Amino acid sequence: MAGYGTRDPREEESLLGNDVDPRSSGTSSLAAKSRRWTILSIVALLGVASVAAGYVVTGYEPSRDVTVIDRARPDSEVVSAPSSKPHKIPILPRACNSVDGGYQCFSEISHRWGQYSPYFSLADAGVSNTVPEKCDVTFVQVLSRHGARYPTASKSKKYKSLIQTIQANATAFNGKTAFLRTYNYTLGSDDLTTFGERQMVSSGVKFYQRYEALTRDHVPFIRSSDSSRVVESGRFFIQGLQQSKLQDRAADHSQANATINVVISEDTGANNTLNHNTCPAFEASTLGDDVSENYTSIIAPSMAKRIQSDLPGVTLSNDEVIYLMDMCAYDTISTTADASQVSSFCALFTEAEWSQYNYLQSLGKYYGYGAGNPLGPTQGVGFVNELIARMTHTAVQDDTTTNHTLDAPRRGHVPR
C-alpha cells in the first residue's frame, strides 16, 4: 500500500501514514499529516497466481489485481514509470463493443462463457446502473482483474496437443468440424491479448466518465499485484483514465497522472492480501473441482458423441470437450483486436450447451472461491480490513492474509 510521508525508509507505514506493522519500531506519528489526505476512491487490480478469484468479470481467469484510491495520492511516484510504456491503442467504437455497453457481440454465445466472457454491461438487460436519487458518490473502489488474456501456459499446451491429436486421429472432418483439418494453434500464453489491452483502456475511460465528479480533480490510488498481465492492465487502465481527463476541460490539469502506486508480490511466501494461495486450508480444498467434475460428467458425453460422429477416429474425454468450448472463447478474443470475428469452435455447440458451460464455470467459482466453499468468505476478510484501515486512518487490524506493511518496493520514495 502506498505510504504518505515516510521519511525514514526503515519505517514501514501504511497508506494513511500510520505505522502499520506492529513489529516495526517506527514511532514518529504521521497520522496528523496523513489526515489531510482523504481517500475518495480506490482502484485495485488484483491477480491470483493459479486459479481465478471470481470477483470481476472483466477479463479472463486468474491473474492479479490493481487497486486505485482517489485523492489520497500525492504527486510523486512510488513505482517509477514501469519499464515499458504501453503503446497507444486507439479505441475503435463498434456497435457491439463499446466503452459503455462492453462486449455485446454474439451475446447468445459470448455472454455464456463464465469468467471468460469479456466485460458486458447489464444496463440494457434491466439491471439499472444509476445512482439512487438524492445519493452522491463520494468514494469509489474498483476491484478488477486483468483484461482478456491468452490461455495460461499449461492450458495452452493442452489445447494445442488436443488439436494436434484430433488432426492425427481423425479420418474425416465432417460438418462443423471441417475447419479443424487445417486449424493451426498459434495462441500465445499468459499475456493480455490486444483485445484485452483495449478492454482495460475502455475500463479506464468508463471509470473516469462514470465518476467524473471525483476523477476530474482527484488522482486515484492504484495498487496492483506483480504479474505482468495485471501490471499491464493497470497501465492501460491509467491510459484510458488519463486520456479522458485530458479531454475534459473541467478537469484539474495541474495534477500528476495516475500511476501504479503499489505493486504487491504474488510470490510464494509473500503476504499478499489478494492472493488466495496464502491460506493453505483453502488451497487444500478440492470442492470446486469436485463439483465441476461431476457436472462435466453430466453435460459432456452427449456433446462428445455428436462431435465424434463428425470426426471418425477421435475419442474425446469429458475434459477435452470442455477444452474445445474454452477454445471458442480464447480463439475469439485472440484472433482479432476487437473480437469481431466469432471462432469456428463456437459453432460446434448449441446455445443450450453454452448455458451449461456458463453454469459449469459458475459452479467452479461458487464452490471453489465463493460462498459455496466454507472458506470462501475468508478470502475477503483481509481485503475489507485493509480498506477499513485506509478509511479510518488506523493500522490494519487483521491476522489473516493482510500484508501489514503494505509498503511499495521503493519504500524510500513514497509520496508525501
Query: Which residues belong to the active site?
Result: 146
Distances (CA, A) of 324 to 141, 151, 153, 289, 339: 36, 13, 16, 19, 18
Stretch that binds ligand NAG, among 119-127, 191-199, 371-379, 406-414 (CB under 6 A): 406-414
Total of residues contacting ligand NAG (CB under 6 A):
27
Distances (CA, A) of 51 to 46, 226, 267, 275, 351: 12, 16, 14, 10, 26
Element (H, E) at 103: strand 102-103
Which x/- pattern over 226-245 shows residues binding ligand NAG (rule: CB under 6 A)? -------------x--xx--
Q: Does 290 bind ligand NAG (CB under 6 A)?
A: yes
Q: Which one of residues 20, 43, 143, 291 is an interface residue with ligand NAG (CB under 6 A)?
A: 291
Closest residue to ligand NAG using C-beta atoms:
271
d(CA 118, CA 122): 12
List the grid coordinates of 301: 458425453
Largest CA distance in the chain: 76
Please state the closest distance from residue 50 (CB atom) to ligand NAG, in A. Answer: 18
Q: Does 400 bind ligand NAG (CB under 6 A)?
A: no
Please state the closest distance from residue 133 (CB atom) to ligand NAG, in A. Answer: 34
Which x/- pattern over 298-327 shows residues binding ligand NAG (rule: CB under 6 A)? ----------------xxx-----------
State the burial class of residue 257 (Cβ atoms within 10 Å of its Cβ: 0-12, 13-18, 19+).
middle
Please state the closest distance from residue 343 (CB atom) to ligand NAG, in A. Answer: 16
Q: Which one of residues 38, 165, 167, 362 is an interface residue with ligand NAG (CB under 6 A)?
A: 165
User: CA-based angle 195:330:282, to the nearest 5?
Assistant: 105
Looking only at residues 168 through 187 of this chain, which bind ligand NAG when binding is defined by CB under 6 A? 169, 184, 186
d(CA 203, CA 131): 19
The residues binding ligand NAG (CB under 6 A) are: 165-166, 169, 184, 186, 239, 242-243, 246, 257, 264-265, 269-271, 290-291, 294, 314-316, 403-407, 409
